[in-house]
């Protein structure tokens, strides 16, 4: 187990970074949203890895709750994105900026 | 409790002793209330009646009464659910501020929603759901509960930000809040994962013990520090401190004014409650590591918020940047770290609730169908049209600037003196300098209201029933029934701003002896 | 003192490099041999009947989103099911009943608001 432990952590950190970079460079709100989900799931992987490593259950409980919370966030997010799309906006974050300095 | 209910012996109540449920009673009341409003919305589908706001108001009043009761009883062991939640006086004070703000917002809502033509029952459900998250957050003493609170607070607010569904600005605000809020949640959660991994605990008390051991041997775990940093980024986003404030101006401007009122005050109070609890209690052993970064963020927020606010043409944006600056002032209290600093920060949060709710309430009252009152030109000559509203708005602006005889003055005074007592003179100096800058844009709002001549078209602006001295707007009894509560809220916020500015001890004595429990 | 942070720095650099590298490197490094068969959407080996990019009714998305919420809330039933006989007993039953009742209220709301109607 100890051998695998850093591997999972590095994978989780990589997933988190891909997600964070994705949020910053992508312009489609759906893809940005997927990147955010990737960040949350990276945290989930870290939580579960740490739960194995520290021999505690809290990490697994935390991960379950994160999954449920992320699902609610997805649904609200998709509903908002659908709403924006239906009201005639192009799905591009650069064009979605009527308020500016 | 057990004897009262006379439960059969085989009922394993020991899992949830009744004291646990009593400890989270305000949360239960508001959470249950939101389900009740949801069912009521199904039962009374007619739009625009006052059933839902009345139920919501009663629910919030009930929670407020319960919180007062808990404050008076002052449980000797305020930690419930195995250290996951604390109903200590610190949390209760934050609850008071949040609940009073919510009550003010509920009083303002029916009139505002009617004028803006968005009377949907979902509004009150989402408001109470978000309020539940805030109450969870103020007492959370476990990382899992903190995360739940943050998300329960945020997700309904994402929807509320886009509640004006026909308005592109509102849609844009919702989208930005959602994407940037989710981004911040990612950081928050990853920070929590790292802290959990390095300490093996999610309870704040156990984490505190681990940190104490590390600090004693002067070995600061870098992974743990990274976790704390990521967690702080997530929370600093929620309190909209610079440089994590990108979302604030757009979301504040685009959201319906009533939602901005709730978002700007209640979210900030709840997020700062958990921030103060984490930094003044749990992370205290690592103070040497986080003190400087937090102070730097405080200074950046004060400077950035106040300087950029000067250049704004939208009143809501001015208040958004002012909110960023206020977050900087409150962060002084966090950076100081002493009990003095914590009390000063709590005092400032209460003061902020009075003056900011008041200022936004004036904007909601002035908002008409189709758009919010947001441009300076819409405030022009308000003094001639509505002297009382203009006078109150001027009072709130002066209070936000920190004028003597207003609650804002003592808010800043306590924070700066706490910083000086703690030997952090630079923080106090930056605070005073930036306050001087802030005078410029607050006074500009006042100047516009008192000197400028109103536009020809703004003569048709609605006058508020019960507030307008001419009494022209009292068209029907329903107009008065939605107008009077709104007027009462603004006047009460004004009275509070002045009375607490003359007798600051009214709140400060409450704060004496508040200790922060962390499970 | 500052040396303590070295692993953190290495970690950060590694993580940033991986993130940027994976995002931008794959399109650059990956071999590309496009062919008609590869470009087709994969649908369990069956030749797709029509383009996947046609518009779906928005009702489809609504139903799908509602499904996700209720589906994922069900994960809490699994750990509960493992423990309910051995440790939670009646308390667990009461607790789960409250949870399910809340979900039922939500379903009732969705139903009465007409979100389950296809037209």
The DSSP secondary-structure symbol of B282 reads I
Sign (positive or negative) of CA dihedral B442, B103, B68, B26? negative
User: Could you tell me what percentage of chain A is helix, strand and coil, using 3-state DSSP and rounding each to the nearest 5?
Assistant: 75, 0, 25
Kindly report the three-state secondary structure assignment for every residue of chain A. CCCCHHHHHHHHHHHHHHHHHHHHHCCCHHHHHHHHHHHHHHHHHHHHHHHHHHCCCHHHHHHHHHHHHHHHHHHHHHHHHHHHHHCCCCCCCCCCCCCCC
CB C67 within 8 A of CB A75: no
CA-CA distance, B214 to B93, in Å (whole number)?
32
- The whole-number pLDDT of residue A43 equals 96
Q: In 3-state terms, what secondary structure has residue B482?
A: helix
Which chain C residue's Cα is nearest to A75? C65
Mean pLDDT of B196-225: 86
- The whole-number pLDDT of residue B215 equals 79
- At residue B473, does pLDDT exceed 90? no
CA-CA distance, B433 to B437, in Å (whole number)?
7
Cα–Cα distance list, C68 to A70, B178, B463, C72 (Å)? 11, 18, 47, 6
CA-CA distance, B96 to C17, in Å (whole number)?
47
CB A28 within 8 A of CB A36: no
Neighbours of chain C (3+ CB pairs under 8 A): A, B
Mean pLDDT of B252-258: 92
Q: Which residue has the tokens 């509320």?
A: B160
CA-CA distance, B304 to B328, in Å (whole number)?
9
Among A73, A69, A72, A11, CA closest to A42 = A11
- At residue A55, does pLDDT exceed 80? yes
- The whole-number pLDDT of residue C91 equals 82
> Which chain A residues are Cβ-neighbours of C61 within 8 angstroms?
78, 82
Torsion-angle region of B513 (φ positive above 0: left; ψ -120 to 50: alpha; else: beta): left
Comparing A24-38, A79-93, B10-24, which segment has the lowest mean pLDDT? Answer: B10-24
Strand partners, B368: B371
> Which chain B residues are Cβ-neighbours of C10 within 8 angstroms?
none
CA-CA distance, B234 to B274, in Å (whole number)?
12
What would you report as the CA-atom Rg of chain B, rounded to the nearest whole angstrom? 22
- The whole-number pLDDT of residue C41 equals 65
Mean pLDDT of B493-514: 88
Q: Which two tokens stand for residue C32?
A: 């590309």
CATH number of A5-86: 1.10.287.3510
Does C16 sit within 8 Å of A78, measured CB to CB? no
The DSSP secondary-structure symbol of B266 reads I
- The whole-number pLDDT of residue B458 equals 47
Better pLDDT: C60 or B310 = B310
The segment with the largest mean pLDDT, out of B413-427, B476-490, C54-68, is B413-427
DSSP state letters, B49-99: -SHHHHHHHHHHHHHHHHHHHHHHH--SS-EETTTTEE--HHHHHHHHHHH
CATH number of C2-112: 1.20.58
Among B230, B211, B227, CA closest to B219 = B211
- The whole-number pLDDT of residue B383 equals 85
Cα–Cα distance list, B6 to A55, B19, B20, C93 (Å)? 39, 15, 18, 19
C68 class by beta-carbon count within 10 Å (0-12 exposed, 13-18 middle, 19+ buried): middle
Comparing A30-34, B6-10, B360-364, B416-420, which segment has the lowest mean pLDDT? Answer: B6-10
Mean pLDDT of C50-74: 80
Q: In 3-state terms, what secondary structure has residue B371?
A: strand
Overall residue count recorded for chain C in this entry: 119
CA-CA distance, A48 to A60, in Å (whole number)?
6
Overall residue count recorded for chain B in this entry: 519
**Backbone dihedral angles phi then psi of residue B80, each to the nearest 5 degrees:** -125, 175
- At residue C50, does pLDDT exceed 80? no
CA distance B507 to chain A (A): 37
- The whole-number pLDDT of residue B213 equals 87
Kindly state the percentage of chain B with pLDDT values over 90.
56
- The whole-number pLDDT of residue B459 equals 44
Sign (positive or negative) of CA dihedral B247, B249, B254, B256? positive
CB atoms within 10 A of CB C34: 7
Does C61 sit within 8 Å of A71, measured CB to CB? no
Among B94, B89, B141, B78, CA closest to B513 = B89
> Which chain A residues are Cβ-neighbours of B195 within 8 angstroms?
none
Mean pLDDT of B252-281: 93
What is the torsion angle, in degrees rounded to the nearest 10, for the CA atoms of residue B99, residue B103, residue B109 and residue B112? -100
B280, HSE (Cβ side, Cα atoms, 13 Å): 27
Does B144 sit within 8 Å of A77, measured CB to CB? no
Which chain B residue's Cα is nearest to A33? B179
CB B69 within 8 A of CB B26: no
- At residue B48, does pLDDT exceed 70? no
A vs B: CB pairs below 8 A = 132
**Backbone dihedral angles phi then psi of residue B86, each to the nearest 5 degrees:** -120, 130
Better pLDDT: B223 or A98 = B223
> Which chain C residues are Cβ-neighbours of B223 within 8 angstroms?
7-8, 11
Does B175 sit within 8 Å of A84, measured CB to CB? yes
> Which chain A residues are Cβ-neighbours of C21 within 8 angstroms?
none
- The whole-number pLDDT of residue B454 equals 62
> Which chain B residues are Cβ-neighbours of C11 within 8 angstroms?
223, 226
Tell me what the pLDDT averaged over chain A comes to: 85
Strand partners, B375: B314
- pLDDT, tens digit, 9 for 90 and up, residues B292-334: 999 999 999 999 999 999 988 889 999 999 999 999 999 999 9
CA A22 to chain CA mean position, Å: 10
- The counts of H helices and E strands in chain C are 5, 0
- At residue B370, does pLDDT exceed 80? no
**Backbone dihedral angles phi then psi of residue A28, each to the nearest 5 degrees:** -85, 120
The pLDDT confidence band at residue A64, using thresholds 50, 70 and 90, is very high
CA-CA distance, B333 to B510, in Å (whole number)?
17
CA distance C88 to chain B (A): 8
- pLDDT, tens digit, 9 for 90 and up, residues B426-468: 999 999 999 999 999 999 999 988 887 765 544 444 444 444 4
Q: In 3-state terms, what secondary structure has residue C15?
A: helix
Does A99 sit within 8 Å of B250, measured CB to CB? yes
Which chain A residue's Cα is nearest to B313? A101
- At residue B190, does pLDDT exceed 70? yes
- The whole-number pLDDT of residue A28 equals 87
CA-CA distance, B196 to B386, in Å (whole number)?
56
CB B249 within 8 A of CB A98: no
CA-CA distance, B452 to B458, in Å (whole number)?
12
CA-CA distance, B3 to C119, in Å (whole number)?
55
- At residue B469, does pLDDT exceed 50? no
Of A54, A72, A79, the CB nearest to B197: A54
Which chain B residue's Cα is nearest to A49? B197
CA-CA distance, B503 to B305, in Å (whole number)?
29
Mean pLDDT of B160-168: 88
CB B451 within 8 A of CB B443: no
Better pLDDT: B240 or B381 = B240
């Amino acid at each position: 187990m100890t051998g695998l432990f850093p591997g999972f952590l590095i994978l989780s950190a990589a997933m988190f970074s891909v997600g964070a970079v994705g949020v910053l460079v992508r312009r489609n709100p759906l893809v940005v949203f997927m990147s955010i989900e990737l960040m949350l799931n990276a945290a989930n992987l870290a939580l579960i890895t740490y739960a194995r490593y520290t021999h505690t259950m809290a990490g697994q409980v935390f991960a379950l709750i994160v999954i449920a919370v992320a699902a609610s966030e997805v649904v609200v997010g998709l509903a908002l994105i659908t709403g924006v799309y239906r009201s005639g906006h192009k799905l591009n974050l650069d064009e979605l900026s009527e308020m500016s300095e | 409790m057990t004897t009262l209910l006379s439960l059969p012996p085989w009922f394993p109540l020991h899992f949830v002793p009744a004291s646990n449920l009593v400890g989270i009673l305000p949360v239960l009341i508001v959470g249950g209330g939101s389900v009740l409003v949801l069912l009521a919305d199904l039962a009374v589908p007619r739009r625009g009646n006052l059933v839902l706001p009345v139920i919501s108001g009663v629910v919030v009043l009930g929670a407020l009464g319960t919180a007062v009761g808990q404050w008076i009883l002052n449980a000797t062991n305020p930690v419930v659910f195995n250290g996951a939640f604390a109903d200590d006086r610190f949390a209760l004070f934050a609850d008071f501020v949040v609940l009073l703000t919510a009550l003010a917002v509920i009083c303002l809502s029916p009139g505002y929603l009617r004028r803006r033509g968005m009377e949907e029952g979902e509004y009150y459900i989402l408001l109470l759901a978000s309020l539940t998250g805030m109450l969870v957050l103020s007492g959370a003493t476990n990382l899992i509960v903190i995360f739940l609170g943050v998300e329960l607070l945020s997700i309904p607010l994402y929807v509320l930000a886009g509640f004006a569904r026909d308005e592109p600005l509102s849609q844009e605000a919702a989208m930005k809040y959602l994407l940037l809020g989710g981004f911040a949640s990612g950081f928050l959660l990853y920070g929590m994962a790292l802290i959990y991994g390095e300490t093996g605990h999610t309870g704040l008390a156990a984490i505190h013990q681990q940190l104490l051991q590390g600090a004693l041997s002067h070995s600061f775990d870098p992974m743990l520090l990274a976790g704390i940093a990521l967690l702080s980024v997530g929370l600093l986003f929620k309190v909209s401190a610079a440089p994590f404030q990108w979302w604030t101006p757009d979301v504040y401007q685009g959201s319906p004014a009533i939602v901005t009122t709730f978002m700007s005050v209640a979210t900030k109070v709840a997020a700062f409650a958990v921030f103060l609890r984490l930094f003044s209690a749990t992370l205290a052993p690592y103070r040497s590591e986080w003190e400087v970064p937090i102070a730097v963020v405080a200074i950046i927020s004060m400077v950035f918020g106040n300087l950029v606010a000067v250049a704004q043409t939208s009143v809501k944006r001015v208040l958004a940047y002012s909110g960023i600056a206020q977050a900087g002032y409150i962060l002084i209290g966090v950076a100081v770290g002493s009990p003095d600093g914590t009390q000063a920060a709590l005092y400032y949060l209460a003061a902020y609730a009075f003056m900011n709710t008041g200022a936004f309430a004036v904007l909601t009252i002035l908002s008409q169908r189709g758009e919010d009152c947001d441009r300076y030109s819409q405030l022009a000559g308000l003094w001639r049209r509505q002297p009382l509203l203009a006078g109150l708005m001027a009072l709130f602006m002066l209070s936000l600037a920190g004028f003597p005889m207003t609650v804002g003055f003592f808010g800043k005074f306590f924070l700066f003196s706490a910083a000086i007592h703690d030997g952090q003179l630079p923080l106090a100096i930056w605070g005073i300098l930036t306050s001087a800058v802030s005078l410029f844009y607050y006074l500009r709002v006042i100047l516009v209201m008192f000197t400028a001549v109103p536009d020809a078209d703004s003569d048709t602006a609605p006058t508020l029933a019960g507030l307008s001295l001419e009494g022209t707007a009292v068209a029907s009894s329903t107009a008065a029934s939605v107008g009077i509560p709104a007027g009462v809220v603004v006047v009460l916020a004004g009275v509070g701003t002045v009375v607490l500015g003359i007798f600051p001890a009214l709140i400060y004595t409450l704060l004496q002896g508040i200790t922060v429990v962390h499970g | 003192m500052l040396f303590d942070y070295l692993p953190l720095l290495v970690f950060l650099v590694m993580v940033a490099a991986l993130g940027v590298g994976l995002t931008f490197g794959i399109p650059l490094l990956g071999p590309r041999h496009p062919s008609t068969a590869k470009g087709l959407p994969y649908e369990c080996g069956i030749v797709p009947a029509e383009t996947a990019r046609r518009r779906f009714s928005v009702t489809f998305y609504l139903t799908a989103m509602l499904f996700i919420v209720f589906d994922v809330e069900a994960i809490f039933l699994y750990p509960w099911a493992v423990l309910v006989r051995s440790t939670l007993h009646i308390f667990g039953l009461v607790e789960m009943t409250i949870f399910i009742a809340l979900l039922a209220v939500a379903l009732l709301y969705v139903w009465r608001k007409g979100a389950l109607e296809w037209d």
